[in-house]
Amino acid sequence: MAAISEPVVANAARAQLWRPLLHTSARYRMVVALLAAVTLWGLFAWGYQLKTGIGVAGIRRPVFWAIYLVNFVFWIGISHAGTLISAILRLTDAGWRKPVTRAAEAITVFALMIGGMFPIIHLGRAWLFYWLFPYPTERLLWPNFRSPLLWDVTAISTYLTGSTIYLFLPLIPDVAALARHTTGWRRRVYRALSVGWTGSDREWHALEFAMKLMAGIILAVAVSVHTVVAWDFSMSIAPMWHSSIFGPYFVAGAIFSGIAALLIAMAVIRRTLHLEAYLTEHHFNNLSKLLLLMSLLWFYFTVAENLTAWYGNEPKEMAVFGARVRGPFAPYFWAMVICNFVVPFVLLGIRRLRTIRTATIASVCVLIGMWLERYLIIVPTLSYGRLAATWGKYAPTWVEISISAATFTTMALLYLIFAKLFPIIAIWEFETEVMEVSSVS
């Protein structure tokens, strides 16, 4: 009986998971067009900034880092959704990870692509971005190796390369199967991406070894990347930045926001692609527990950061601390605490309230709260610097808002295109599971 049901289950899984690839609805086209329109508007705003100058943004003395750098830290944090979650679950061989890993790994690659653009957008002369790379010139001038910006370039380029490989490896068996069942340009693309995959035992062993190896490597790279991003701040002597806690604080926040982004992506995929049989309440429940754990850890680091500043009572830091908790930035600060701690603690900490809907609501709140956290790290410190004579205010312009909005639509657009070209759930992992169960039966 098992030998008969095995191919039936496998074919049913393929038919359901391949359906979004082969059939395009009018609603999909409308959503893609809307997202593309906002993205194009963001590109127009960036082109206007390049032509007119960086002055059209709200960046001016003393706030030289603003929303662009907020978005940079935010998107690099989101990128930890795939590498840390997928890599840890793969290394621990957690069985429930199978429908989740590819969705997480795709978030990593796209978030890194978007986040890596913001240092370039922030440049006044963006066409000279290659000056950041360590290369010899005619005058034998090299970039400053003591600059954290050079560390960012090295870390993010390494992270993006490794994450792309980590996303590509599990795709090989699926694109090889798609190459056998499609025609035209799709068949040519899938055949090229399958790199001659035949499905032999030797290839399967090599693939499993490569995925485990990349999971271990990417895990270490992911932790180091956000630590380097934290060094951008902690290497300075600005109030509330010169802290040794920033490394683990940023890594914990990155994992926190990454899990939230993954939960939102899973909820949308489950609803729109009708994958309720694959993305079940069990997966949302497990990830919700991880989100709750990271919420508690985030709260601890936030208390530790602000408690040490308050207890030290250093005037320069107290100016920033006061602006955050009871000054002009207080509404953002307490909204951050509510979004990142109160809402997840209530919705996910109480078992009766922990559902797919509440997990999605909590995740949306976490993303809002984490963006506010990045904003509160950057803008108040620069607005209330070490010298009172240099204090100033910051307000974003339509250029910054347009470019920031375009990054979110670009993320959604890239994800929709990826889901249209490749199965968002690894089909071969389900087929392998069915074969293992049938062989035992």
| 369-410 per-position pLDDT tens digit | 999 999 999 888 888 876 666 777 888 889 999 999 999 999
Write out the two tokens for 386: 């070490």
**CB count in 10 Å sphere of residue 275:** 18
Q: Is the pLDDT of residue 440 over 70?
A: no
Longest dimension (CA), the chain: 82
How far is Cα 431 from Cα 419, in angstroms, rounded to an integer?
20
Amino acid 408: pLDDT: 92
**What local confidence, expressed as pLDDT, does residue 7 receive?**
43
Buried b (16+ CB within 10 A) or exposed e, 278-306: bbeeebbbebbebbbebbebbbebbeebb
- At 149 the pLDDT is 76
- Say how far apart CA 323 and CA 314 lie, in whole Å: 14
As beta bridge partners, residue 63 has 60
pLDDT of 241 strictly over 50: yes
Residues of 407-433 as b/e, b for ≥16 C-beta within 10 angstroms? bbbbbbbbbbebbeebbbbbbbbbbee
| 348's tokens | 């996910």
The predicted pLDDT at position 47 comes to: 92
pLDDT at 438 over 50: no
pTM (predicted TM-score): 0.86
Q: Which of 425, 435, 434 is nearest to 103 (CA)?
A: 425
Residue 335 has pLDDT above 60, yes or no: yes
Q: What is the mean pLDDT of the chain?
A: 83
pLDDT for 141 beyond 90: no
Rg (CA), the chain: 23
Average pLDDT over residues 97-120: 86
Cα–Cα separations (whole angstroms), residue 325 to 205, 242, 331: 55, 19, 8
For 296-328, what is each residue's pLDDT tens digit?
Answer: 999 999 999 888 888 888 888 888 898 898 889
pLDDT at 439: 41
CA distance 232 to 119: 12
* Helix residue ranges, H only, 169-313: 172-181, 184-193, 201-234, 246-272, 281-312
Instruction: Find, among 171, 64, 66, 57, the residue nearest to 109 by Cα.
Output: 171
The pLDDT of residue 370: 93
CA 123 to CA 118: how far, in whole Å?
9
For the cut 50, the answer to whether the pLDDT of residue 177 exceeds it is yes
Lowest mean pLDDT, pick from 37-41, 65-69, 127-131, 292-296: 127-131
The secondary structure of residue 217, as a DSSP letter, is H
Residues 6 or more apart whose Cβ sits within 8 Å of residue 314: 239
Per-residue pLDDT at 337 exceeds 90: yes
pLDDT at 1 over 70: no
Domain boundaries, the chain: 238-244+288-394
